[in-house]
Amino acid sequence: MPSIVIVGAQWGDEGKGKVVDLLAENARVVARFQGGNNAGHTIVRGEETFKFHLIPSGILYPGTTCVIGNGVVIDPSVLTAEIDGLRDRGVDVSNLRVSANAHLIMPYHLMLDRAHEAKLGKLEIGTTKRGIGPCYSDKAARLGIRVQDLLDEKILKQKIMAAMEPKRLMLRPFERDPALDLHAMTEQYMLHGNRLEQHIADTASLLHRALDDGELVIFEGAQAALLDIDHGTYPFVTSSNPVAGAACVGAGVGPRDITEVWGVAKAYATRVGAGPFPTELDDDLGEDLRQRGGEFGTTTGRPRRTGWLDLVSLRYAARINGMTALAITKLDVLGGRDTIRVCTSYRTDDGAELDTFPYHQTVLHHATPIYTDLPGWQEDITGCRAVEDLPANALAYLRFIEEHVGVPIALIGVGPARDQIVWLGERSPLLAA
Ligand code: GDP
Ligand code: IMO
Ligand code: MG
């Protein structure tokens, strides 16, 4: 059985949760490997909707072990609330395993995230304000608090003291906040430790066993290629690497353990937060896409910026991830239009045409999209379940994407529900008949 990494191919919210849920039924393990509760992954099961921020999207299958890997940053109050919420809905969470090496988001990380953004003013990144950036900063500075530290009060207190010391100045406006009191914080986090202890495990070894047994393992990416701290539109990015290569680092496996990489992209493009977005539609058409696609953030509720599909950035995402297949979601949202535009190259400031993603931020900021207009379709495709059901123009649009990206499309989404998919090629061998 192969192992497969599912990653976002645009700026996030492509429908990774739905794709992971689809493939997870036969998986022994589903593992998150980066990001934190900045993610919001939606799964629609009949009348029920689940939104996961930290817990992997395989949790609805009792036979699947869900791992929160070492590369994830965990806000323990969010994780415990998510566990409680699932239990209340009758979901068995006993198969959840949390890496002892994962870093913890602390109350001061939340405050610093807000303070940094306020300081940037008009230049703000538009973060989710979940403390992600400051937590990864502390990890790199070797001032992080890890899950295993929750099991020893003395060590925990010492580490919190050491971590807070260099932040005194920045934290001064919050000094009266009771959440910053050393003793209260230690006590609070020890309580979280008590709650989470049963889930703490050597998750890398658990993954090695599943891989060695030849079982299906899914690595669930959060965020997306263009939000990658190295390869994305820096500084308007998140503070981790959402690309497929990070699955190895963030879960503790080697590159040869990965056999497939699936990139998830919408049939158009969206972005939450600030930063360049060449195909953005700042007009009625963009508003129409937002309303029809329900483009409001899963985590923060913010309206998402919307635009046409950008094949320059999608080609780039395919390359840096080493994608073996694409999943194109929300094709249904594009129905009812005479024309669908798709960006195939950029025009730079000096008039040159660029068909590769520019490495220089200034070039990207000034890039204007060059579009190809394709004929749309009027039919409602939400009921389509086979390639033959799709309007010819919808299929032509998908073939155009495949040709320009150079990666085959495995499946498309025609609605939010689990069964609203069409397999484009052969039905994946990753799934049971
Ligand atoms: P993720 O962060 O990549 O998991 O994506 P989100 O859950 O944040 O956002 C995707 C949204 O699109 C969710 O509301 C999904 O229920 C919805 N969705 C996923 N696939 C489709 C699709 O094919 N069609 C439509 N209309 N909605 C979809
Ligand atoms: P999923 O996994 C969309 C964006 C934020 C902001 C930038 C940095 O649901 O696709 P951060 O809080 O990470 O420091 O914010 O990244 N962002 C996302 N946008 N989907 C996400 O996750 C995101 N996670 C972070 O809006 O622009
Ligand atoms: Mg999301």
* Ligand in closest contact with the CA of 18: 1
Q: Pairing state of beta strands 103-104 and 3-8?
A: unpaired
According to the model, what pLDDT value does residue 2 have?
Answer: 85
According to the model, what pLDDT value does residue 298 have?
Answer: 76
φ, ψ of residue 354 in degrees (nearest 5)? -125, 125
Q: Is the pLDDT of residue 196 over 50?
A: yes
Cβ–ligand 1 distance for 333 under 6 Å, the answer yes
Distance from residue 44's CA to the centre of ligand 1 (Å): 9
3 state DSSP class of 371: strand
Cβ–ligand 1 distance for 42 under 6 Å, the answer yes
If we measure between CA atoms, which residue out of 364, 251, 377, 236 comes closest to residue 310?
364
| Ligand 1 atom at shortest distance from the alpha carbon of 414 | 23
According to the model, what pLDDT value does residue 304 have?
Answer: 96
With a Cβ cut-off of 6 Å, ligand 2 is lined by: 8, 12-13, 38-41, 125-128, 130, 132-133, 222-224, 227, 238-239, 272-273, 298
Distance from residue 265's CA to the centre of ligand 3 (Å): 12
Q: Is the pLDDT of residue 431 over 60?
A: no
Tell me what the mean pLDDT of segment 122-127 comes to.
95
Q: What is the end-to-end Cα distance of the chain in Å, rounded? A: 15
Point out the residues that are catalytic: 13, 41
**211: which residues sit within 8 A by CB, 6+ positions away?**
3, 217, 253, 257
Cβ–ligand 1 distance for 335 under 6 Å, the answer no
pLDDT by residue (tens digit) across 224-283? Answer: 999 999 999 999 999 999 999 999 999 999 999 999 999 999 999 999 999 999 999 999
pLDDT by residue (tens digit) across 394-403? Answer: 999 999 999 9
Q: Is the pLDDT of residue 41 over 60?
A: yes
φ, ψ of residue 50 in degrees (nearest 5)? -115, 135
* Ligand in closest contact with the CA of 16: 1
Distance from residue 330's CA to the centre of ligand 1 (Å): 7
According to the model, what pLDDT value does residue 127 have?
Answer: 97
With a threshold of 0.95, does the pTM exceed it? Answer: yes
With the most atoms of ligand 2 within 8 angstroms of its CB, the residue from 34, 127, 138 to mutate is 127
Reported as a pLDDT band with limits 50, 70 and 90, residue 357 is very high
Strand partners, 218: 4, 30
Tell me what the mean pLDDT of segment 161-177 comes to.
94
Distance from residue 349's CA to the centre of ligand 1 (Å): 35
According to the model, what pLDDT value does residue 301 have?
Answer: 85
How far CA 428 is from CA of 20, 298, 316, 424, in Å, comes to 13, 28, 25, 10
3 state DSSP class of 52: strand
According to the model, what pLDDT value does residue 429 have?
Answer: 53
Which residues have a beta carbon within 5 Å of ligand 3, which is an ion? Answer: 13, 40, 298
Residue nearest to atom 10 of ligand 2 (CA): 12
Calculate the dihedral angle through the C-alpha atoms of 26, 27, 32, 38, rounding to the nearest 10 degrees: 10
C-alpha–C-alpha distance, residues 77 and 83, integer Å: 10
According to the model, what pLDDT value does residue 297 have?
Answer: 85
According to the model, what pLDDT value does residue 432 have?
Answer: 45
Tell me what the mean pLDDT of segment 344-364 comes to.
94
Q: Residue 221 CB: number of other CB atoms within 10 A?
A: 34
pLDDT by residue (tens digit) across 80-105? Answer: 999 999 999 999 999 999 999 999 99
With the most atoms of ligand 2 within 8 angstroms of its CB, the residue from 6, 223, 241 to mutate is 223
C-alpha–C-alpha distance, residues 206 and 29, integer Å: 9
Reported as a pLDDT band with limits 50, 70 and 90, residue 300 is confident
C-alpha–C-alpha distance, residues 80 and 346, integer Å: 46
Strand partners, 371: 343
Cβ–ligand 1 distance for 15 under 6 Å, the answer yes
Structure tokens at 249: 């680092």
Tell me what the mean pLDDT of segment 360-370 comes to.
94
According to the model, what pLDDT value does residue 411 have?
Answer: 96
Domains of the chain: 3-88+203-431 (3.90.170.10), 103-198 (1.10.300.10)
Cβ–ligand 1 distance for 17 under 6 Å, the answer yes
